[in-house]
Amino acid sequence: MSNVRKVYMYPRWLRFWHWINAILFFLLILSGVSMQYSDTSSLLMPFEYAIVTHNVCGILLSAVFLYYLFFNIKTRNYKQYIPQLRGAKEMYLKQMRYYLVGVFKGEPHPFETTPENKFNPLQKLTYFLIMFLAVPGIIISGWLLMFPELAPEQIMGMGGVWPMALLHITIGFFLNLFFIGHIYLATHGDTVTANFKSMINGWHLHIEHNNQYNVSNSEISDEDAPEQSGNSSVDISKQESNNNENKIEVINNNLK
Ligand code: HEM
């Protein structure tokens, strides 16, 4: 007998930000690469459209990033991203081994996903660097390229705009790598599509192969959590946390 545990993990504001951000990122990558080529017959996007698309998406990305920061502070979601320092090396190696070996042997995830600890140690570190270093860096350098008069006149003996362009394109390169790696690693949920579904409906589904699970509180603001979304063919024993928030359901299932 195994349980399907449902945890409300991604509140509506986060999902809204995430998918808008993903679309904008995709368009920024497409137009950014196209802008490297002045040939308007480019397969990706004609040069003149690429400039407009890049500027408009960059402005929108800045706006949704402010929205993301605001809600992260309001709901304290930012705490999820703070990398753990104690035992970091062992944890990173453990997670790395899982990605390189364990995942191909069908081994269980080395770190369990809970509402208090949504991410594994490598996710924490990556999301932290991406969201609080790379994204602000690419946004600030982008604005300074759009308004070069605001850029410092000289940086280390060079004209101020050139280092900004170099910074922008270097961060862009790493964000491209993140984008590809992130989508690939997102397929490593309990099933290939499980994480994508979670980011769409908010619920993280986890199949447990024993019946023990301790329910605990979450800091996620989830006033938008659906009341009930269980499968009618299974016996649902809903376990509520102390403040009666309907965040975790354990569905006793007959899965073997
Ligand atoms: C088509 C593109 C994308 C897809 C399919 C995708 C997919 C996902 C999925 C399935 C998750 C939930 C599981 C997990 O945490 O790994 C997730 C979370 C996340 N993604 Fe993406 N993603 C995309 C683009 C992006 C981009 C461009 C960024 C940022 C630059 C990003 C940043 C994040 C962050 C920060 C989280 C964790 C959010 C939180 O719970 O606080 N994603 N993504």
Among 132, 199, 200, which residue has the most ligand 1 atoms within 8 Å of its CB, making it the best to mutate? 199
- What is the rounded (10 degree) CA torsion for 173, 110, 81, 26? 30
Average pLDDT of the residues in 226-244: 36
Contact 144, 164 (CB under 8 A): yes
Q: Above 50 in pLDDT, residue 70?
A: yes
Residues in the chain, how many?
A: 256
Nearest-angstrom CA–CA distance, 56 and 54: 6
pTM, full prediction: 0.83
**pLDDT on residue 248:** 56
Ligand 1 and 94: CB distance under 6 A? no
Tokens at residue 118, please? 């949504």
Average pLDDT of the residues in 45-55: 92
Average pLDDT of the residues in 5-34: 95
Contact 238, 249 (CB under 8 A): yes
Environment class of 177 (CB within 10 Å of its CB; exposed 0-12, middle 13-18, buried 19+): exposed
Of the pLDDT bands very low, low, confident and very high (cuts 50, 70, 90), residue 193 is: very high
Which range (57-71, 156-170, 232-246) has the least confidence? 232-246
User: Which numbered atom of ligand 1 lies nearest the CA of 175?
Assistant: 30
- Per-domain residue ranges for the chain? 2-253
The number of helix segments (H) and strand segments (E) in the chain equals 8, 6
The rounded mean pLDDT for the chain is 82
| Distance of CA 124 from the midpoint of ligand 1 (Å) | 12
Environment class of 41 (CB within 10 Å of its CB; exposed 0-12, middle 13-18, buried 19+): exposed
Beta bridge partners of 250: 5, 237
Higher pLDDT, 251 or 198: 198
Of the pLDDT bands very low, low, confident and very high (cuts 50, 70, 90), residue 160 is: confident
Q: Above 90 in pLDDT, residue 29?
A: yes
Q: Which CATH architecture has domain 2-253?
A: Up-down Bundle (1.20)
Which range (1-5, 142-146, 217-221, 232-236) has the least confidence? 232-236
Nearest-angstrom CA–CA distance, 221 and 218: 8
Q: Above 60 in pLDDT, residue 41?
A: yes
| Distance of CA 50 from the midpoint of ligand 1 (Å) | 25
User: Which numbered atom of ligand 1 lies nearest the CA of 10?
Assistant: 40
